[in-house]
Amino acid sequence: MYKKIQEKIYQSKTVRMSIGLLFILLFLFFIYLLRNQTPGRSVFYPPCPFYHFTRLYCPGCGTGRALHSLANLEILKAFSFNILTVLLTPFLLFSF
């Protein structure tokens, strides 16, 4: 009986570690995409209907540009696009 419990604990740790590794790899891939795809000039970012009709950037456009700037370590430039995104990104990263 003790071996079965120990085996279940090992399996649950293995599953948790595998899921954690998967999230880390997905996060690194997301950073790679953000770093290499320029907003507004890439197929990766969908066109903004708000900008199309009004020629004004919406908060979503600013968030995308801010995340792109953060991925390229351009913090002051990211602040100019969306201050809230820059301030909340560290909290969101460490909450996981």
> How many Cβ atoms are within 10 Å of 74's Cβ, its own excluded?
14
Spatial separation of the C-alpha atoms in residues 48 and 66, rounded to whole Å: 16
Ramachandran bin of 74, using left for φ above 0, alpha for ψ from -120 to 50, beta for the remaining angles: beta
Identify the domain containing residue 42 by its residue range: 2-95
pTM: 0.71
Q: What's the structural domain count of the chain?
A: 1
For 52-76, write each residue's pLDDT tens digit: 899 888 888 889 899 999 999 999 9
- Is pLDDT above 70 for 81? yes
